[in-house]
Amino acid sequence: MNRIYLSLLVSILLSSCFLEKENCDKMTKITSEEDYNLLLCKKPENLAGDGTWYYNLVGKNLNTQKDTLIKAYNYRWYDIIESFCEKGDTLVKKKDSPVVEIRKKDTIYTMEWQCGNPLINGVSFRDFKHPYQKI
């Protein structure tokens, strides 16, 4: 009986690791496809539709000067990015790059996508001290 429970536990752990790796690979592919140079007209908004979480990035495409709506599907990463963004900031993301720049009036933040440990200005998001963070 204990072997059955042990086998079940091992199966669950292995499938969990596989699904996490699969999700990580999927988010890395989605992130690498993104390409924008966007002046935000409002703070990014977290939404859900069709069982999928995403962020709406609303602003002006600085390359075309057109109003633009971008659905950012790597919501785990954008949960971090969103906390740094406000109306008037510029978000710059180049295709095939894991980096988003958040350009503020007086500061530039670089957010680098890495599975399980995104970086903010080269520092793990777990260790980075946000300037607005209360200690």
Q: What would the pLDDT profile of 44-62 be if each residue is shown by its tens digit?
A: 988 887 777 888 899 999 9
Quick: pLDDT tens for 111-131. 898 887 888 888 888 888 766
Euclidean distance between CA atoms 81 and 63, whole angstroms: 22
E strands present in the chain: 36-40, 45-49, 52-61, 67-72, 90-93, 99-103, 108-112, 119-120, 123-124
pTM of the model: 0.75
